Amino acid sequence: MSMIRDLRAAVRPRPSLRKDSGSYDTTRDPGTPSAVVDCAVYRDGARVATRAPLTPQEAMRQVRRDGGFVWIGLHEPTEDEFAVIAREFGLHPLAVEDAVQAHQRPKLERYDDSLFTVFKTIHYVEHDRLTATSEIVETGEVMCFTGRDFFITVRHGGQGSLRALRHRLQDDPELLAKGPSAVLHAIADHVVDGYIAVVDAVQDDIDEVETEVFSPGRKGTPRGTDAGQIYQLKREVMEFKRAVSPLLRPMQLLSERPMRLIDPDIQKYFRDVADHLARVQEQVLGFDELLNSILQANLAQASVAQNEDMRKITSWAAIVAVPTMVCGVYGMNFKYMPELHWRYGYPVVMGVTVGLCLSIHRILKRNGWL
């Protein structure tokens, strides 16, 4: 697995990013891990200007000398790329392993001098029409290392860029002056706000499916929809729930339990994030229950439609049985048959047969079978 990850990192292109966009230009220093997206020192709520982009080692030396904190952003680092930063900042090996391998459950872990937080990011995938193979939500991950004088983010997945968030925080020096805990709150709030936007979009998809299931088709019967569409939507909601539900406990801890790495003024803001997250969880759980009901209703409609078809087939079989029986009787090769040589035998038999068929048809139609 390590060899595969190293090979993937070797072939992954690392474009040179513009300095004016706040991104790290890795072409300036070949010794710097290419996974670094941005590295900056913040002091008194402002970003310290430098002539050239800083390496993580240079940024940390500057912080230890002059104060402030360093914020390093990485995107899908390899083991070797992250090992350099992990040694410099003294990160716990277990947290480092989780950050590199990804596919972690949302959680909050406390180590000696740092907090390790995992967030699942959710992105809504636009689609023209819901099908049994539609991808509705796309997930990513953001791992955060919060220390006394450093903040490190490790991002996995193509969505969930933090560049706009970094710029927004830089425009609020009073908040950024609170240190790394302010950045942690901003990321938590950013992730949960993304959940709220996805909830609204998924609600529209569920409303569309519900309308299809219960809208009338021909002759006033329910039109129904493909059960595969409902099941796919249910699976995507389940993926959403796996991102939301485990995060509720970490947000409660950050908002209720005093921690020396979390500024008391910032801790109050985590309560608002926890409240929003709880509301999202309630909506997602409601989606799951509603989709269960819609799926059961759709299957019930399919059974009703099958019963209707069977009733119609049975009704026509009963009507056809009358002439079949008469023809079968007169098709027997007996010499002495009643009324066999009667002049009016044929029209009488045909009339009786048609009359019986019409009578049966009328009775079945009146009872709703046809």
Burial class (CB in 10 A: 0-12, 13-18, 19+), 21: exposed
Q: What does the chain come to in residues?
A: 370
State the pairing for strand pair 150-156/69-75: parallel
* Residue 134 backbone phi and psi in degrees, to 5: -70, 135
Can you read off the two tokens belonging to residue 113? 């001098």
Three-state secondary structure call for residue 268: helix
CB-CB contact of 163 with 40 (8 Å): no
Question: What CA–CA distance (Å, rounded) separates 263 from 259?
Answer: 8
Q: Are strands 69-75 and 46-47 parallel, antiparallel or unpaired?
A: unpaired
Per-residue pLDDT of the chain (370 residues; tens, 9 = 90+): 333 334 333 333 333 333 333 334 333 344 455 788 899 999 998 999 888 888 888 999 999 999 999 999 999 999 988 998 999 899 999 999 999 988 889 999 998 889 999 999 999 888 777 777 778 888 899 999 999 999 999 999 877 788 899 999 999 999 999 999 999 999 999 999 999 999 998 988 888 888 887 776 544 444 555 777 888 888 888 989 999 999 999 999 998 888 888 988 898 899 999 999 999 999 999 988 888 888 887 777 777 677 777 877 888 888 788 788 777 777 766 666 666 677 777 777 788 888 888 888 888 788 777 7
Cα 89 from Cα 38, distance rounded (Å): 16
Alpha-carbon distances, residue 148 vs 55, 126, 218 (angstroms): 19, 40, 68
Quote the radius of gyration of the chain (alpha carbons, Å). Answer: 35
pLDDT of residue 325: 79
Q: How many other CB atoms are found less than 10 A from the CB of residue 338?
A: 9
Domain boundaries, the chain: 309-366
Q: CATH number for the 309-366 domain, one of 3.90.190, 3.40.50, 1.20.58, 3.30.160?
A: 1.20.58
